[in-house]
Structure 1
Amino acid sequence: MTTHVPATSFVLTAIGDDRPGLVAALAAAVDEHGGNWVDSQLALLAGKFAGIVQVDLPAERAQDFLAALPALAEEVGLEVEATTGRAGEAAEEPRHVLALHLLGQDRTGMVREITTALRSQGATIDGLRSWTREAPEGGGMLFEAEAEVRLPASAQEQDLREALETIAGELMVDLELDAPA
């Protein structure tokens, strides 16, 4: 018979100058306090390592874990902040998941325009990755983004498509909205 140990869930944000060992140091701190690394998104941006990590820890070890985090800044140069999350969070209502892909000439305001259209339809963004790259044959910079979005069950996918197509026309970008691969 297994005993259920209450867990405390934290979302950690971590940032530091890129160098070997940052993820290993954070993983060691989680493990040393009996924690479980649940989910993460890690990236290198402008020479900085940046990460978001969800960890679950036994409730009785949570305060010791939080007290140990400042040492990571001193030891390896990794600043870590912890926010209490909800372990085993369930969705409040059914949602329809869609994959969004955008490609077009880079210009300011693109992310704002797209996210405003998503918000207008009640969509939430579960994940977003964006980047710029040189266009072929010296055509300037291209902006590309991929997102996973969720619509509440009460919203219509066609209404979201129409809102995004209007924005795509104004921004002169290619925009696709499909079921996730």
Structure 2
Amino acid sequence: MMTSLVLTVIGPDKPGLVELLAQTIADHQGNWLESGMSRLAGKFAGILITEVPADKAEALTAALTALEAQGLKIVTERSAEAEAAAGQSFTLELVGHDKPGIVREISQALAKRHINVERLSTELTSGSMSAELLFKASADLSAAADTDLDDLQDALEDIASDLMVDITLNN
């Protein structure tokens, strides 16, 4: 029997951190399944899912905790993969001048409509015509089959006008 573990990882960025994680997982007969990792503000941060034989899960968790001596902080959680409910999936793309509150406004509109954020990626980039910073966001979203996407689109258009950003919703 296999156990799924979700790991969150953070530490000072340096070469070899992914190899250190991968080797520790492999040493416990684990399998690296999915991950998202980035260098952010000089830190290495990530989240990953690994599967390990149930009788090796505790030993792997202890080995991962021991990596703190090498600068990595790792939180390990057992995962019970929930079955996906029937529904609809769609994406949201946003571009606009950076200002505080953009993520808050969008996430409030989504939460109010019980829309789940499955993946969110944001970045600041320099505008091509000016030196002003542009905020870009991309999100994969899911909702119940009966969710009114026209209502969401209307709410997002109101937010876009208030924040002076462009928001695109794609099915």
Aligned to 1:141: 133
1:90 aligns with 2:102: no
Q: 1:139 Cα deviation (Å)?
A: 4.9
Q: Deviations for 1:1-50, whole angstroms, at most 9, x for unmatched residues? A: xxxxx111111000111111101110111111111111100001001000
Aligned to 1:130: 122
Aligned to 2:111: 119
Aligned to 1:171: 163
2:108 maps to a residue whose letter is T
Q: Deviations for 1:94-136, whole angstroms, at most 9, x for unmatched residues? A: 1211111000010000000000011111110000010111223
Asked if 2 retains the 8 angstrom alpha-carbon contact of 1:151 and 1:157, the reply is: no
Structure 1 runs of 4+ with >2 Å offset: 136-139
Aligned length: 171
The whole-number CA distance in structure 2 between the counterparts of 1:30 and 1:61 is 10
Q: Deviations for 1:67-106, whole angstroms, at most 9, x for unmatched residues? A: 11122122x321111011114x321x21211111000010
TM-score by length of 1: 0.90
TM-score by length of 2: 0.95
Q: Deviations for 1:128-150, whole angstroms, at most 9, x for unmatched residues? A: 01011122343521111000011
1:27 aligns with 2:22: yes
The whole-number CA distance in structure 1 between the counterparts of 2:128 and 2:58 is 53
The whole-number CA distance in structure 1 between the counterparts of 2:51 and 2:65 is 18
1:49 aligns with 2:55: no
Superposition CA RMSD, Å: 1.2
Q: Give the SS at the match of 2:167.
A: strand
2:79 maps to a residue whose letter is G
